[in-house]
Amino acid sequence: MEEELMKDVKTILIVDDEQPIRDILVYNLKKEGYNTIEASDGVTAVDIALEKRPDLILLDIMLPKLDGLSVCKRVKNSYNVPIIMLTAKDGEIDKILGLELGADDYITKPFSVRELVARVKANLRKIEVETNNSQVIRPDATKKKESKIVVGDLELDLDKFEVKVRGEVVELTLREFEVLKFLASQPEQVVTRETLLEKVWGYEYYGDIRTVDVTVRRIREKIEKDTSAPKILITKRSVGYYISSGK
């Protein structure tokens, strides 16, 4: 029974109204050792997600009853689960909207099964790192000094996964935190979008780097006083991004 599945085996919820696509994904994900559960409409997807709490969700945008973007928002409001949006649309707007609502990633149909599996593994790896770090308990006598990165008005506490700007705590998602940490660890050094994709997302995007720009925009909305004239997270036009030391 699915309820009795071993805890260390990750469960993936596949949400798509096309049975052939679900069948392909189920076959390939099970071959990789994952458990799968399915939903063919948005309402059912939300119900299953909140009841079963899968480890990752593959979520189509165009769904009956409730569209994928709404599903994403409702699920993310309840618990933090990696969501990879599946879209057959060519327009960037759907991808961007999905990420704005909390989706961690997206892939466009028709997609390579190999690429999709790589993205599933990468997103699960990130959540696993966060969980493992949060479960580490150190005795008071041997507890290490908190590891922090301080650059100008920006302060990152790597033990607490906490960010402060001018002394005020700012709430970031894990992905946003990882991007900021990577940039802040090398202030004033411009990092290309491709490097961020490789080091933070953990795999190549086959030339699709728009997700980096969307994530950076979300970070700026949280850490900058004026997003039109950022002072902390700076763009080097046509190259990438860097953290200013404020000097």
**pLDDT value, residue 107:** 85
* The pLDDT of residue 5 is above 50: no
Q: 217: domain CATH number?
A: 1.10.10.10
pLDDT at site 139: 42
Distance of alpha carbon 167 from alpha carbon 170, whole angstroms: 9
Structure tokens, 155: 């302060």
In a domain, 11, yes or no: yes
Residues 129 and 39 in one domain: yes
Instruction: Supply the range of the domain harboring residue 238.
Output: 148-243
* 125 in the same domain as 161: no
Three-class SS state of 138? coil
Together in a domain, 195 and 229: yes
In a domain, 184, yes or no: yes
Reported confidence tier of residue 35, pLDDT bands at 50, 70, 90: very high
Ranges 64-68, 175-179, 203-207: which has the least confidence = 203-207
The structural domain count of the chain equals: 2
Does residue 143 lie in a domain region? Answer: no
Do the domain assignments include residue 140?
Answer: no
Tens of pLDDT, residue by residue over 110-163, are 888 888 898 898 888 777 765 555 544 444 434 444 588 999 999 999 888 889
105-108 and 83-87: which strand pairing?
A: parallel
**Among residues of the chain, what percentage have pLDDT more than 70?**
82
CATH code of residue 65: 3.40.50.2300
Distance CA 82, CA 61 (A): 15
Note whether 112 and 164 are same-domain residues.
no
Alpha helices in the chain (DSSP H): 19-31, 42-52, 68-78, 92-100, 113-135, 174-184, 193-196, 210-223
pLDDT of residue 94: 65
